[in-house]
Every structure is written in structure tokens, then in C-alpha cells.
Amino acid sequence: MTTRWTKPSPHRRVLLVAVRLVLLSLAVGSALACRDFVDPPLPAGAEAFKAPAEYELWWQLTQACANRTAPMSRLSWYVVRGVGMISDGGKMVSAYWSAGSNRIVLTEEAAKNGPVVRHEMLHSLLQAGGHSRAAFLQDCGGVVSCGDDCLHDAGPAPPAPASAVVVPAESLIVTATVSPTIPGNALFGGHFVLTVLARNPSQHFVVATLPDGGASGAVAFQFEAFRPEVASTYHELYYEDPVRDVSVARFAPGETKRHVFDIVIGAAGLPWALWPGTHRVNGGYGGQWSPSMTLEISP
């Protein structure tokens, strides 16, 4: 039998070209998807570990600001001890999230740092790399860390509108909350958070003036803790959050901004630690302080 070849009609040639283009685009898309969803090699010395109790609190905070929910059990965790930086397959970092197996890899120090861990948790909840301004500096601003790479990805803050009014920080309403309400060693491994909120009560856009913190630059959010029986000039804890992005001082009408301070129950003098008992705490923004609040910490 003789095989007969028939020249395709012009319409069929167009169809064949279209099919080839579709197949080519699918192949390219598959290659990109495989590349994006293959984990980089684990850093030398990486050890799998079980998420400690405080990670559940940090996961709740990140879910709330991201307005997304997912079981934290889907994440796998690795730590590299004794090093300051690790490779994410492209650059040196202190922590990274990898899409392939939905894993987070951290240095030993980063594994104890709430804002850093929550930053990687946010990547997992979003199931995306990169750092959008909306996610990392607006929705979850003050909840997750946003370092140099994050700020670069986010791009510059949009300018304040021409109608914006410059106001002192005293024009804002500052409040503070503690979660859990009564911290204790039986809850989240003794970890808790003090969240400071600053709200613009006016119906116009405002830009708050912030005090200069010296070498660290302008100061936005603050908190202080005292023992009730000692003079108010003696701080058990006092921290200031220097401004890294100008948007922290810009408030739309009625807008609230916040900053989460991580605290752990421990002996006096340890970083970010308060011992069990009664304390007096205040949240601050630009030198404007919230009403004093009594904090009871269970043993």
C-alpha cells in the first residue's frame, strides 16, 4: 500500500500552528511550575523539629491579619543551629519558606523570633513568594517583620494625598491589648503578645509627626512595663520600634495601625521577659501613651 501525503489546507496549517503554540506554552508553564515548586537543597546541618507551643499563638496572629486559614500541621519545620545565615538556594537569609513541601527553614536565632517566624508563616498562608506591600506592610504590618529585601520588593509607599493634615501623635487614640488575656506558662509555652494600636479618629487623612529616637531614627510604636510597687521611672521592660517605612505615620480616615510586641514569662533581666505576678503596662505611639493597664501573669 502506498502512503499518500496531502498538503494541509491553509486553515488546517493555522490550526496546527495554534496547537503547537498551545503545547509549547503548556510545556513552558510546566517547566516554570516545576522550578517554582521544587525545594532548594536543605542547608547543611538542617534538623527537622516540631513546632513549639508558641508557634500556635503566632499562627493565630498571622491568620487573623492575612484573613486566611489553614492547618499549621501542613507545614514542616527545619532549624540550622550555630550559624547566623543560611542559603535559600539563591541568597543568604536568616529564614525562608519553600513552596515545594510547604516547609520553613530557620537559623536557631530566627526560630525564637516571633516577627520573623510570622513572616514565613505569612508566605505559607499566601502560598506565594515575594513581598507585596498590601500583605506585608498593610494587612500584616506590625505583625510580621519586613526587612530590607521585603521593603525593596514592596516598593515605595504611595504618597500622602495633597489634602493630608500633619498632626502630632497626640491626635491619635492609642490603646493596648494582651493575648492571651491572662498569660501563664501553661499557655503557648509561656509566650504572649502585647499589641499596641494607634487609631486616627478624624474623617480626614493625617500624617503623624514622630519623635527622633537618635541613631535609630524616628520612633513609632513603644511599650513599657512596671512593677506596681516601684516608682514609675523604673522600667522592667521598655522597647521602641524605629520607623522603617513611612507608611507607619500615614493614616487614612478612621484607620488603625498596630504593632505586636512578643513577651515571654521568665526571670527579670532576660530579653523580652516578665516574671509571674502583677505588672502595669502601657502602649505608646510617637510618645502618646495608652491608658495604663494591669497585667496579671500566672505562674
Sequence-ordered strand ranges (E) for the chain? 47-49, 76-80, 86-87, 92-93, 95-98, 103-107, 165-168, 173-179, 191-199, 206-209, 219-226, 237-242, 250-251, 256-265, 273-274, 277-285, 288-289, 293-297
pLDDT tens for each residue of 229-262: 765 566 788 999 999 999 999 999 999 999 999 9
228: confidence class by pLDDT, cuts 50, 70, 90: confident
pLDDT tier at 217, thresholds 50, 70, 90: confident
Compute the average pLDDT of residues 123-146.
98
Domains present along the chain, CATH in parentheses: 47-154 (3.30.2010), 165-297 (2.60.40.10)
The pLDDT value recorded for residue 124 is 98
Reported as a pLDDT band with limits 50, 70 and 90, residue 12 is very low
Q: What does pTM read for this prediction?
A: 0.85
- pLDDT one-digit tens code per residue, 157-193: 999 999 999 999 999 999 999 999 999 999 999 999 9
